[in-house]
Amino acid sequence: MASSSTENPPIIRNAWYVAGYSTELKPNAVLGRKLLGTKYALFRRPGGALGMVRAACPHRGSDLSRGRLVGDCLRCPMHGWEFDADGRCTKVPSQPDTQKIPPGARLEVAEIREQQGLIWVWLGDKAELCPVPAHDEWNPSPGRRCYFEAPRLWKCSFVNAVENAIDTTHIPFMHPATLGAGSRALYPRQEIIVDEDGRGFAGRDAPESPWGERREAALEGGPLIQLLGRLLGVGPIESEQYRFDLGGSLFYKVQYANGTWEVLVAHSTPASDTETWFFGVSVRTRGLHFLADVFQRWFARTLVDEDEDEVSAMLSNDPRESFPLVSVVGDEPLLTFRRLWERQSRKEHHGGRSGFRVVGTGGV
């Protein structure tokens, strides 16, 4: 089976990452967020448009995310320099308007999109821009309930956060109280289809897998659990599928036999080598009532607590702890992610050697 090591390849920049939620930025609000090792200031202009610039002020390096909006311009909290939508400095209060503003007084402006309640950012080569990941299920609609779990900064590597989102073989061991200790441990072989451009993949249990029964009930248990299931609108499962998109977006969908569905999404974004933002979103068409809302909130929060607790404690988060990793057949989806990630990273870093070796997943 394929092997790899705890030495991860450099973070890729030519990808869309989630930087935050639309609801985090009211008009005139400024928000600081560290992404891919650099602090950025995100803000919403009075007209509603979003902006995002590198937060380090080119004058003396104060943090512009502590500044405020004056009209459409971002004002530095230290000496009041003002920067427009293109990152140009338009005002230096300590000198008259007749004095020239140095051309270097300019901010790096990030490519940003707001879509389906999410703020997406591209921090790489703008010539390589590709479409922002989107799914019809994320569109707001009266027959759907959407829940955005508050952003969290996990103390772990990006690779470990993404692998945890993709991996379901940890469920019976890490989520005994929420998803059930009795969840299937045997993991069917996976049918994985990689996009032609190598920027994502879709997967599901292989229908002809000799290993493991298909999961048919979302909630297994006695009469009380069954009653809870009926209240929440959880019925027998018709199909399950997932999809991953580079940077770090994992989409997981359960289709119920009664025609309803639910989607769980984990967006991971590197903050630094040892910290990763986690944005969890869920959408459902089952149980469209208050009780199910409360349950959904509790369920999502507890599940993320359980994941964060264990993933943050992984020794492979520490870049100084270098050791080889051993993989098995049940790691197929994780290894597919690693393969795509490594390829893209190599492409961006021009054949730079990485200590990260993955030998494909075919034929295992």
Site residues (CB under 6 A) for ligand FES?
57, 59-60, 62, 76, 78-79, 81
Nearer residue to ligand FES within complex by CB, 83 or 278: 83
**From the list Fe ion, ligand FES, none, partner contacted by residue 31 (C-beta under 5 to 8 A by kind):** none
What minimum distance in Å lies between the beta carbon of 46 and ligand FES?
A: 22
The smaller minimum CB distance to Fe ion, of residues 58 and 280, is found at: 280
What residue spans of the chain are helical by DSSP H? Answer: 158-166, 171-174, 223-232, 290-312, 332-348
User: What angle (nearest 5°) sits at the alpha carbon of residue 283, between those of residues 278 and 284?
Assistant: 145
The window from 16-24, 261-269, 305-313, 355-363 that contacts Fe ion (CB under 5 A) reads: 305-313
Residue 262 binds to Fe ion (criterion: CB under 5 A):
no
Contacts of 145 (CB under 8 A, 6+ apart): 283, 284, 285, 288, 292, 293, 296
Cβ proximity to ligand FES, 78 vs 153, nearer residue:
78
- Cβ proximity to ligand FES: between 59 and 204 the closer is 59
Rounded Cα gap, residues 294 and 276, in angstroms: 27
CB of 62 or CB of 354, closer to ligand FES: 62
The residue (of 115 and 169) whose beta carbon lies closer to Fe ion is: 169
Q: Per DSSP, which regions of the chain are E strands? A: 3-5, 16-21, 30-35, 38-44, 50-54, 68-70, 73-75, 82-83, 89-91, 111-115, 118-122, 145-148, 152-154, 190-194, 200-205, 237-245, 249-256, 261-272, 275-284, 324-326
Nearest residue (beta carbon) to Fe ion: 307
Non-local (6+) Cβ contacts of 99 within 8 A are 92
How near is the Cβ of 342 to Fe ion at its closest, in Å? 24
Q: Is 307 in the site for Fe ion (CB under 5 A)?
A: yes
Using CB distances below 5 to 8 A depending on partner kind, what does residue 307 bind out of ligand FES, Fe ion, none?
Fe ion
Minimum CB distance to ligand FES, residue 185 (Å): 56
Binding site for Fe ion (CB under 5 A): 307
